[in-house]
Chains A and B, each alone.
Chain A
Amino acid sequence: MTSQTNDARVAAPTGLEVGESVVLAIDDLRTHFRTEQGVVRAVDGVSLTVPRGKTVCVVGESGCGKSVTARSVLGLVDPPGRIEAGHIWWRPDPGTAPLDLAGLDPRGEPIRNIRGNQIGMVFQEPMASLSPMYTIGNQLTQAIRLHVNLSAKEARERAIAQLVRVGIPQPERRFDAYPFQLSGGMCQRAMIAIALACDPALLIADEPTTALDVTTQARILDLIRELQDETGMAVMFITHDLGVVAEMADEVVVMYLGTVVERGTVTDIFERPRHPYTQALLESVPAIGRGDRARLRTIAGMVPHPDDRPTGCPFHTRCRSAMPGLCDVTPPAAHDLGDGRVAACHLLDPDLPPSPTPAVAPVAIEITEPDHAVPPDPQIGDQPLLSVRQLRMHFPVTKGMFGRVAGHVRAVDDVDLDIHPGETLGLVGESGCGKTTLGRCIARALDPTGGQIHYQDPAGGRPVDLARLTNTQLHPYRREIRVIFQDPFGSLNPRKTLLQIIAEPLRNRWSGRADSAIEDQVAEMLRRVGLRPEYMRRYPHAFSGGERQRVNIARALITNPRLVIADEAVSALDVSVRAQILNLLRDLQDEYRLTYLFISHDLSVVEHLCDRVAVMYLGKIVEQTDTGALYAGPRHPYTEALLSAVPRPDPRLRDTGARIRLGDDLPDPADPPPGCPFHTRCPHRRLTRCDTEAPRLQDVTAGHAASCHYAGELALAGAAHTRGEHGA
């Protein structure tokens, strides 16, 4: 053991000291996957330290090797992956010498003692990480008894204490519940309980809140912080969300293509980023409450696939200040900037002559266009393009052998909505609130149970009620109302070329042939969305997520539609690509005079893109108004809670202002609570009317509707910035 300590000191050329204050130190880790296509260097020289009791956030876009780094620590890299070089110094106790986890047999006894005992791990998908065949209690006691010698009864007591600790209500009952009986947030709490069962010195959390709603995410983040204060464990937190980083991190490690490009304290990274990638990443995030609708700055291109990593600096192909002849040839060394800050960039090399564009200064290459709102179409005037009235979509719940209808899930319940020409209407809400169903009803992918969808025909004349038309009658309107889907992978038929996919709505319904005029049209459309027309004979598998989303947009716009329903169109994309797609949507709106219905759970994106916002809860619209008014002064307690739950990419806002944390999870939409549907979770609930009387959506001020009995009285906090402008 002593010799290993000496090794640690010697084998740390990057100035990595495994001091007593450090619990985990990764030194030049290289984890490679030897596949048939060649060696994929998923992690290629990562060095970082996790100080005792602190939170280190590892941030980067997908494919940057964040997860593989974490899995390497635990010896959980899937074959054919292997740790090729480097050290992982593990020092759970300041009194003992560090141990190199990289040298342990991944299936051996020593690492199994550390896994789950000294290091806990929480994964992204709580439902998938828990075994559906065992109860929560079963899995929890098993984790405890693996490492601690306890009787079954003692283990049960300890497990229940754990459930209490992670804030699961009625722990005795939940102990015997199966994962599918709990909501996603509850499952993640149970996962955390299992991870912390043996009081580990380090918790590795791999995107633990990515699959959760903002409100649930906020509570899970709170929980992790509280538990950390209580136990003094260190946390290695992996995420792609810079808002979460700003909320959680003490120190930040920014990764790009398997290497660490910059690390430092959270305030340094957010306020004085030194590496061009960190700078660009921070600029491409729309921040909530800024009221800023200018174009987002983007990072050109996308993360290359790890098996064709660029030579030299991995970021040089997308870097705004890349120096030809240097950045594309020599990989930059990690430069120590003092105070524990390290950045790997040639611009920071003191030995190089000062470059013409210093990296520290904001790089103003892309001109920020002023936001020119599209004037409403004069011919139609104030007439809404689409007005939805009392729309209902109820799904029957069947029970028993003969499919008896036992009730209805009211996914959309009496929704009124107006969409005016040329505007962008945002539709937000937690998952399960019915926003996607509403979008699909309007697009008539579903047959609504009741209500009307009045569509103003462009040729003038009377509005048409789309809700009543048959599939054949709908045909002409399908060209005018188009949908951009969320999943860039599932929404493109893998067996068709881009030409076939995009031209599908243009093809003659009966002959099914595409002629050369259509081909030209598709080529032009591809060019408009930023893809090369030559790609039209390729199949979707050749494209990345961002490119596929461009194809999706091209397919939606090829018929020259008037209304485009974008259903979580950017949710599946990485930060930098998301900014590109948002800018593209904005440009296309101006060019084609489009009207958007933008469905999203991401409130900062909605604020960035939308003119008006409707907030949905349990199948009903609870608030609807202009974006500025909604974010500055919400009138419904649910909106207030949603806004307060959004993590903001500014570490200084971390401890300011009271947070509203919503209690219990969403009520069962098949059995909505009586009275105001939100009263079960509302922090402003009053005993008089909320439980019994359902509020109606009505104007509080002109153009600002909310469905709360006390909308006029409550003083609710918005998301507007109270701080001075900085860091922009």
Chain B
Amino acid sequence: MTQPTPEPGATVAAEPRATSVAPPRKLLWWRFRKHRLAMAGLVVTGLFCFVAVFADFLAPYDSGHFNADYTYAPPQALKVVDTSGDGWDWGLYVNGYLSERDPDTLEQTFTVDESTRIPVRLFARGPSYELFGLFETDIHLIGPADPDGQPMYLLGADRLGRDLVSRIVHGTRVSMSVGLVGVAVAFVLGIVLGGVSGYVGGRTDTVIQRMVEFFMSLPTLPLWLGLAAAIPRDWGPLTRYFAITVVLSFVAWTGLAREVRGRFLSLREEDFVTAALLDGVGRAGIIFRHILPSLTSHLIATLTLSIPAMILAETALSFLGLGLQPPVVSWGVLLQEAQQIRVISSAPWLLLPGLAVVSVVLALNFLGDGLRDAADPYRR
């Protein structure tokens, strides 16, 4: 077949620009990259995820390691070079403590002792742990060179002399992961029910919408209290919390369902969906191959924005003593320690887990915001 000579009206498009051949996800990435705050959010979120995954390796001690001699020990500065002697002595170290007890109040006070020197090294040996449950090791990113010598407290210690760095690092893992399953369950429910409601319409839509309204009217905090009381005592604290989040996710899908329904309603009227219908595509094909792909980027953005809500909920409930319970370490549990004003006045570093919460929630919000802005590269 010879190529028909293009008539004068035939389009002779200019050489392709980069944007004209790019698939939609590339357009999304290009637009996302322009959003500076969102990029920062992505980096910070990535860091926190890294910490959560490699918590055992990054923390100098395990979460339960305590030393009653160092109750409320203040943070130590990590020093690189020792100039106290003659000349410069390179090498990581922290200074030791001088502790004295007030004879009247029995209050123990610590001062940093510039003369003692606790050498610190990277990839130090410490308590052993199993990396990913695969192989056992006792290498930690940082730790005192002598595992049996004096401990180090880079961010200070708590009531039982536990290292705050290690506890925040271990708490990251729990705080960032324990609600994920709940979010996932809520997400699947929201998409399926919202999608059915929006696409099928009619009576189904009415039933699902009334259901949404019912679930939205349930007060969550009392529900949470009731569930906390109802769950068997002999379950572990982490299992209990997990059970509660899963039950709560059956309530939390409503917002997403409404959003998905709205988008289905508008997309259903789009010409390209009618075109697919006229192409002979079945109902499932229209929903899964034509409508849902147009929604994915929005869904990812919504998901990103619902994770910080989950983290905040965990923190708030654990702070109140309703969520996770002490042997488990999470940011909320750590903040529980900082409930008393007297404790805070003497050991303000106990508020540091709050800083972690703020930074990860902000980062996720920026990330979600940027994703949402970039989500629709075809906005005209």
Contact present for A494 and B281 (CB under 8 Å): no
> B213 at interface (Cβ–Cβ under 8 A)?
no
Contact present for B378 and A494 (CB under 8 Å): yes
Which of B1-50 touch A at CB < 8 Å?
A: 1, 3-4, 6-14, 16, 19-24, 27, 34
Q: Which of B11, B275, B293, B378 contacts A530 (CB 8 A)?
A: B11
**Given contacts A490-B271, A494-B24, A539-B23, A301 and B11 within 8 Å (CB-CB):** yes
Interface residues of A (CB under 8 A from B): 36, 298-302, 304, 308, 365-366, 440, 443-445, 471, 474-475, 478-479, 482-483, 485-487, 489-495, 504-505, 509, 512, 524, 527-528, 530-532, 535, 537-539, 541-544, 546-547, 550, 555, 579-580, 583-584
Give 12 CB contacts A-B under 8 Å. Answer: A440-B274, A444-B278, A445-B274, A478-B279, A491-B272, A491-B275, A495-B293, A509-B280, A509-B285, A537-B21, A541-B27, A584-B9
Contact present for B272 and A445 (CB under 8 Å): no
Known: A504-B275, A527-B4, A541-B19. 11 other contacts (CB 8 A): A298-B7, A300-B8, A479-B280, A483-B274, A489-B380, A491-B275, A493-B290, A494-B24, A509-B285, A542-B16, A547-B11
**Given contacts A512-B285, A530-B7, A542 and B21 within 8 Å (CB-CB):** yes
A509 to B11, CA, bound (A): 33
The smallest C-beta distance from A544 to any residue of chain B, in angstroms, reads 8
Q: Which residue of A lies closest to B295 (CB)?
A: A495
Which of B270-290 touch A at CB < 8 Å?
A: 270-272, 274-282, 285, 289-290
A493 to B286, CA, bound (A): 11
> B325 at interface (Cβ–Cβ under 8 A)?
no
> B377 at interface (Cβ–Cβ under 8 A)?
yes
Contact present for B294 and A490 (CB under 8 Å): no
Contact present for B11 and A550 (CB under 8 Å): yes
Chain A residues within 8 Å of B23, by CB: 539
A331 to B242, CA, bound (A): 72
Chain B residues within 8 Å of A541, by CB: 19-20, 27, 377-378
The smallest C-beta distance from A79 to any residue of chain B, in angstroms, reads 17
**Given contacts A445-B277, A475-B280, A524-B1, A485 and B14 within 8 Å (CB-CB):** no
Chain A residues within 8 Å of B24, by CB: 494-495, 539
Contact present for B271 and A504 (CB under 8 Å): no
Chain B residues within 8 Å of A471, by CB: 282
Chain A residues within 8 Å of B278, by CB: 443-445, 478, 482-483
| Max chain B Cβ within 10 angstroms of own Cβ: one of A443, A474, A486, A532 | A532
Contact present for A505 and B279 (CB under 8 Å): yes
State the majority secondary structure of interface residues on B.
loop
A528 to B23, CA, bound (A): 25
The smallest C-beta distance from A491 to any residue of chain B, in angstroms, reads 4
Q: How large is the interface on B (under 10, 10 to 19, 20 to 34, 35 or more residues)?
A: 35 or more
The smallest C-beta distance from B117 to any residue of chain A, in angstroms, reads 55
A537 to B14, CA, bound (A): 16
The smallest C-beta distance from B1 to any residue of chain A, in angstroms, reads 7
Q: Which residue of B lies closest to A300 (CB)?
A: B8
What 6 A-B pairs come out closest when comparing CB atoms? Answer: A580-B9, A542-B20, A491-B271, A530-B10, A505-B279, A298-B9
Contact present for B3 and A530 (CB under 8 Å): no
Contact present for B3 and A538 (CB under 8 Å): no
Contact present for B280 and A478 (CB under 8 Å): yes
A478 to B278, CA, bound (A): 6
Contact present for B271 and A538 (CB under 8 Å): no
Contact present for B20 and A538 (CB under 8 Å): yes
Contact present for A546 and B11 (CB under 8 Å): yes
Q: Which residue of B lies closest to A305 (CB)?
A: B14
The smallest C-beta distance from B352 to any residue of chain A, in angstroms, reads 40
Contact present for B280 and A530 (CB under 8 Å): no
A301 to B6, CA, bound (A): 11
**Given contacts A443-B278, A478-B280, A509-B280, A530 and B380 within 8 Å (CB-CB):** no
The smallest C-beta distance from B329 to any residue of chain A, in angstroms, reads 43
A546 to B12, CA, bound (A): 12
Contact present for B294 and A495 (CB under 8 Å): yes
The smallest C-beta distance from B192 to any residue of chain A, in angstroms, reads 21
**Given contacts A491-B272, A495-B293, A580-B9, A504 and B14 within 8 Å (CB-CB):** no
The smallest C-beta distance from A511 to any residue of chain B, in angstroms, reads 11
Contact present for B280 and A492 (CB under 8 Å): no
